[in-house]
Structure 1
Amino acid sequence: MEDAMTSIAPAPWSLEGSGYILLCRFSEEFIKNHAHMDPRLLRAFNGGLGTLMLVDYQQSNVGPYQELLLIPGRLRLDRRGYFHIPQIYVSSQDSIDNGRKNWGIPKRLATFKMEQKAGYEEIIVTSQEGSKGRFQFKPKGPRVPFTTALLPKAFKRLIQFDDADRCLLTQISGSGKMQWLKVQDINIEASLMAPVSKQHVLAAIKVPDFKLCFPTAEELDKQQLALSVTD
């Protein structure tokens, strides 16, 4: 029997907060060995830019929580581009339960410690098993507006398999402000998440103020997608 959810919060969700986005490039070998992707989607891995994100949601449909997630790069399915989240930690059980149910996002529980240090910002993420990730960033430059309307469509299409083995598509939208970010240090234990290092990072951005919409997911035809991988 499944545990009862503390708070049931169906899609759509509206979220507000701040975060850090590291734009990265990963090899197929690195993703295969470290990202724990579903084999059905690993076959569709098409490289390109990936991201590591740290997010502090001040408002959501289940209240405030923090998040660490990995997006390995672009997937190519049915002649369209998608992104996928194989590894993600959040600080809220409500976010875990509803994230899995609404969008098939495989959230796991961790604690987050966010502090302002002398000249930089530090975030420490600790899993329930004790694995850690430490991040040190220094924002710089002016804040400028941004909107996801300017991004390629592939960066707004999230594809996930849920616990019922459904293939779900979520088309995300958002807007806010952004500024450049200097990465002081990254130290991720491989037992926590794919050990992304500074060498993987091509550019880094702080998003000090954003609004994000996660709509109701659409179920896709798995058979058609599986056939298109080999086209």
Structure 2
Amino acid sequence: MDQTTPDQPIVPVPPPWKLKGTIYVLSFWTKEEMPVIAYSPLEAKSPFADPAASGEHLGGLSQIQIIRYTDSPVGPYDELIVCPGFFAYTKDDDKGESKRMKNARVTRVYVSQKSTCWNGRISEYIFIIYVAILNN
């Protein structure tokens, strides 16, 4: 159940968040060709989805995650995450040399509460923690 009504403002909840819940993971393998489900139609033409701007899709182990949070600072909510495999990117090392690297990337996140969506979007910290957890 959403913690706000249409005429009620969304309350900011700063990070870090302590969350409790259950996660269901569907793992599958993707080829180098980008899966159709990877990006929403609104993001499909954005720099985030452009291989030249944000790295080429390499494929590999991919996941769809369904998470049911039973306890959070904004109340219980559900989340769906799409991680379509690994992407290549370049990073300068300590010597200033460009190194090709790869890492998993979350391309879609859906939540069941507007307060969760709003707080997640204004707090980059939450998204960074998310990506770090997925890549360990």
TM bin, normalised by shorter chain, reads 0.5 to 0.7
Q: Is residue 84 of structure 1 aligned with residue 105 of structure 2?
A: yes
Calculate the aligned-residue CA RMSD, in Å.
Answer: 2.8
Name the residue aligned to 1:110.
none
CA distance in 2, matches of 1:10, 1:34: 31
Q: In 2, distance between residues paired with 1:102 and 1:75?
A: 24
Query: What are the equivalent positions in structure 2 for 1:1-231 lying under 5 Å apart?
Result: 6-31=10-35, 33-36=36-39, 38-39=49-50, 40-41=53-54, 43-77=55-89, 78=91, 79-103=100-124, 158=131, 171-172=132-133
Runs of 4+ in 1 over 3 A off after TM superposition: none
Distance 1:53 1:157, change over 3 A: closer
Give the aligned partner of residue 145 of structure 1: none
Aligned identity (percent) is 30
CA contact (8 A) 1:24 1:50 kept: yes
Give the stretch that moved more between structures: 78-87 or 17-26.
78-87
* 8 Å CA contact 2:10, 2:115 repeated in 1: yes
Which structure has more relative contact order (CA 8 Å, sep 6+)? It is: 2
Q: Give the Cα separation in 1 of the matches to 2:29 and 2:38.
A: 13
Aligned length: 107
Is there any run of 5+ residues in structure 1 with no aligned partner, and where? 107-155, 159-170, 174-231
- Give the gaps of 5 or more residues in structure 2: 1-7, 92-99
Q: Is the 8 A contact 1:26 1:47 kept in 2?
A: yes
- Counterpart of 1:109 in structure 2 is none
Give 1 or 2: higher helix fraction.
Answer: 2
SS of the residue aligned with 1:25? strand
Give the Cα separation in 2 of the matches to 1:62 and 1:21. 23
Q: Is the 8 A contact 2:65 2:80 kept in 1?
A: yes
Structure number with higher strand proportion: 1
